Amino acid sequence: MIKSELVQVIANRNPHLYQRDVEMIVNAIFDEITEALCESNRVELRGFGAFSVKNRPPRTGRNPRTGEAVEVSEKWVPFFKPGKELRERLNEA
């Protein structure tokens, strides 16, 4: 599902809201999550999961074409840990 499909589903489930308002709400939620992660804060959505950032230290990697050693710099990457409720729903038989 892409963001526009998410907006459409929410708008269809809430006919009293305009689609442009739903789009603004979805964008605001994503912006707040992004801002929190940029500040190294954890974002927890109960029943869904938690977003956080993890540090990947610098390392020596390999160029897959040439096999040459390449220095990979330190970076921060987003990390998602699904919540118990989400895991249970995914694993229902």
Instruction: Give the start-to-end residue ranges of the domains of the chain.
Output: 3-90
Residue 73 Cα distances to 37, 43, 60, 61, 77, angstroms? 20, 26, 9, 10, 12
CATH number 4.10.520.10 is the correct assignment for the domain at 3-90: yes
Is the Cβ–Cβ distance between 71 and 57 less than 8 Å?
no
Q: Is the pLDDT of residue 93 over 70?
A: no
Instruction: Give the pLDDT confidence score for residue 34 in this predicted structure.
Output: 97
Q: Which residues pair with 75 in a beta bridge?
A: 56
Other residues' Cβ atoms within 10 Å of the Cβ of residue 51: 18
- The three-point CA angle 58-38-83 to 5° equals 95
pTM across the whole model = 0.79
Q: What is the pLDDT of residues 24-42, one digit of tens each?
A: 999 999 999 999 999 999 9
* pLDDT confidence bin for 18, thresholds 50/70/90: very high
